[in-house]
Amino acid sequence: MLDSSLQGGFSNPPVQSAQAFRAALSAMARPGRIETLGGATAPAPTSAAAATLLLTLCDQETPLFLGGAYDTLAMRDWISFHIGAPIVEAGFAQYALGTWADLSQATLPTGISDYPDRSATLIVEMDTLAATGARLTGPGIEVEAHLNLPEIKAFQANRALFPLGLDFYFTAGPHLAGLPRSSIVAEL
């Protein structure tokens, strides 16, 4: 194990994870709203926001899929030390981390009709987050919101599965936005 794997956790887990959760809750409850969070540092190329989300939501009970450039020895060591989540194939994942190019190719669980909650939450790493681009409506949004989603069609197809489907976090540096399966996505 690399020494650097031991670094990058929370200094005050109960408080930092509570604050990070509130950002995550706000993001998922208000799709498109950009929140800021931090406190954790994972090996490159993982953003601070993604590292903090992983540390806040994942543990031994949450199988995790690492996409493309995120599936490195350093990252596996970091996860093993700080989180303990089993690294799994996409089909068994409860959480997934990667770029849109990585994750849009993966087949992740969308839940079953008796238990639509048994579906994956994706953490999609982005270069930037901005309140421009795709138009979002639905729960959590008073009139409409905008977010620079990496594409439109995949999210429309995901909405068509409702109440099944995937839920998304988009992360860039210390920034975070959410897109639950309930959001209706349209071209601007």
Q: Which residues bind another protein (CB under 8 A)?
A: 13-15, 17-19, 21-22, 24-26, 28-30, 56-59, 61-62, 113-117, 119, 121, 138-142, 162-163, 167, 180-182
Phi and psi torsions of 91, nearest 5° = -65, -15
Would you give the distance in Å from CA 134 to the centre of its chain? 18
**74 vs 88, beta carbon nearer another protein:** 88
Query: For residue 64, how many C-alpha atoms fall within 13 Å in the half-sphere facing its CB?
Result: 27
Query: Min. distance of Cβ 69 from another protein in angstroms?
Result: 26
Would you give the distance in Å from CA 161 to the centre of its chain? 19
Distances (CA, A) of 134 to 29, 95, 113, 141, 158: 18, 24, 28, 14, 15
Are 30 and 140 a contacting pair, CB within 8 Å? yes
Specify the residue for token string 């993982």. 46
CA distance 60 to 108: 19
Query: Min. distance of Cβ 83 from another protein in angstroms?
Result: 10
